[in-house]
Amino acid sequence: MDERAADSSAEPDNTDEEHSAKLRRRGIYLLPNLFTTGALFAGFYSIVQAMNGNFELAAVAIFVAMILDGLDGRVARLTNTQSAFGAEYDSLSDMVSFGVAPALVMYSFALKGMGKLGWVAAFVYCAGAALRLARFNTLHGVQDKRWFQGLPSPAAATLVAALVWVMVDNHVTGQDIRWLAWALTLFAGVSMVTNLRFYSGKDINLKRSVPFMVIVLIALSISLVAIDPPIMLLLLLIAYGLSGYFLWAKRRLRRRPEFSSTQK
């Protein structure tokens, strides 16, 4: 055997160690991960408040988590601070804030007295959120950015939280609407793992000029939400949750005449 080959095989390969050392020295970007940490804290705070029976605060905290989660990615892109660490950290934060927290809040508020049916519905939601996030991570680079495949987990989480918020705000107990809560929790969980398309809004260019009426419509929308935030947010989230099914039905109806004509 050649002596040089023997010497090279005896020496350890330090390439991986040097790469790891560079990553440790580089550190992580503070600004986007600060928003992610805030979203994670909001999700944890929601769980704590639900355990203490403060369901309104628990529901509002999930909405705060949604806002912070929407900001971290945009801040990372604007400041060019995207990283693999940030993407993984964001997914773990989302699982707590939009998977575990809404399931526990709804279970504590309305599903606890339903026995197995209650915790099974909460688990279906939690598992749906985990599967939704895993699928999103694997398809992130290949799917059409204009559409989400399945109901996005922040929308599902705020849909569940909005129902709790509305009921608490109107002094309705969880036991009074336990079957509605059960159905909505299952709906949100199953919708996350469907192949239905939901509009993402990522193709909207905020730097582009828009007609004056667009600003008027935005102002009117804000005014409508301000009338009764919990109810209006719940109605908007229900409409968004049903939009994927509406688009699916619309596509099926368009294909049916074509199929019938080919059979003749």
Tell me the pLDDT tens digit for each residue of 184-221.
999 999 999 999 999 887 766 666 776 777 788 888 88
Domains of the chain, start order: 28-258 (1.20.120.1760)
Query: Using one digit for the tens of pLDDT, what is the confidence trace for 223-239?
Result: 888 888 899 999 999 99
How much is the pLDDT for 9? 47
> Which of 118, 91, 103, 121 has its CA nearest to residue 58?
103
Query: Could you tell me if 135 and 151 are in contact, meaning their C-beta atoms sit under 8 angstroms apart?
Result: no
CA-to-CA dists, residue 20 to 14, 85, 88, 89, 164, angstroms: 10, 13, 17, 18, 46
Predicted structure pTM score: 0.82
* Cα–Cα distance for residue pair 121/101, rounded to 1 Å: 14
Least confidently predicted of 112-121, 174-183, 214-223? 214-223
CA 241 to chain centre: 12
Least confidently predicted of 70-79, 147-156, 251-260? 251-260
How much is the pLDDT for 18? 57
Query: Using one digit for the tens of pLDDT, what is the confidence trace for 43-74?
Result: 999 999 999 999 999 999 999 999 999 888 77
> In one letter, which amino acid is 34?
L
